[in-house]
Amino acid sequence: MNTIDKAVLFDVDRYGVATVTLNTPDKHNAFDDAIIDTLKTLFIDIAKRRDIRIMVLAANGKSFSAGADLGWMKRMATYSYEENLNDANNLAQMLHALNFLPQTTIAKVQGAAFGGAVGLASCCDIVLASDRASFCLSEVKLGLIPATISPYVVAAIGQKAARRYFQTAERFFADKAAQLGLVDEVVPLEELNSAVDNMVSTVLANGPDAVTQAKQLALDVAYQEIDDELMGITSERIASIRVSEQGQEGLNAFFEKRQPFWQKEPHNEGQ
């Protein structure tokens, strides 16, 4: 395990699975401006790495993250408007970097995820949560609003649910988060590691370039009018990947009843 910052751990295994771990369990993994800087830099670097196929966002301790650190919030209360704007822009940039990572992103939520932590989960492609996980968009309790995370949370749970939970700051649990679309799967806490391993194996079984392009496809076609232009773009994309090296390998492997080259070494738990 590499230590980027003692508050954030980073590791990449031989399968190309990166794990970014929030590591201040004594503070319930609350984040401040320094941690935000570390995460932003890390996400930008991961995006450039061809050897990384999946990123798991995890946290040590009982909580996933309590959101903003109290000391940081106290400092922000003394900032000018311009200082607050710069601070908020940095958080917005970190969330943007996470949301648009080309790699598959999996959030592993074992416990409480409050405030900005709901934004972190919303930015990930897949969210796996334990049955002990809970969520809260708590900003209005402090007279604030969940502004920088709002585009990602609304995309995850929809406008109607966001209108409720942005205003009420109600705490809700993993089963409700799954109903809302924030969480993809809920498992017992003791099975969370296995659930993440299984999801990693599922993604690794697929064509690396296809997975990357499929993620971008979902981002690009969402909420677009289905017109001649969009149909032309999607037709071009499938034609392009069919004649690509990996597309040819995948098709030939299927018809020849063999595994494609990216499946030759399966991912195993603990390796």
- Domain CATH for 231: 1.10.12
User: Residue 186 pLDDT > 50, yes or no?
Assistant: yes
Are 224 and 117 members of one domain?
Answer: no
**Strand 112-114, strand 185-187: pairing:** unpaired
Give the per-residue pLDDT at 206.
96
* Structural domain ending residue among the three candidates 178, 203, 228: 203
DSSP state of 111: S
Contact 57, 124 (CB under 8 A): yes
Are 111 and 177 members of one domain?
Answer: yes
* Structural domain ending residue among the three candidates 203, 221, 244: 203
Are 115 and 221 members of one domain?
Answer: no
Give the per-residue pLDDT at 271.
43
Domain count, the chain: 2
Contact 26, 66 (CB under 8 A): no
Are 214 and 80 members of one domain?
Answer: no
Contact 200, 106 (CB under 8 A): yes
DSSP state of 261: G
Are 243 and 117 members of one domain?
Answer: no
For residues 105 and 94, give the distance between their C-alpha atoms in angstroms, rounded to a whole number: 14
Three-class SS of residue 69?
coil
pTM comes to 0.94
Are 192 and 235 members of one domain?
Answer: no
Give the per-residue pLDDT at 169.
97
* Residue 159 in domain: yes
User: Residue 234 pLDDT > 70, yes or no?
Assistant: yes
- What residue numbers bound the domain in which 144 lies? 2-203
Residue (of 157, 92, 93) closest to 127 by Cα position: 157
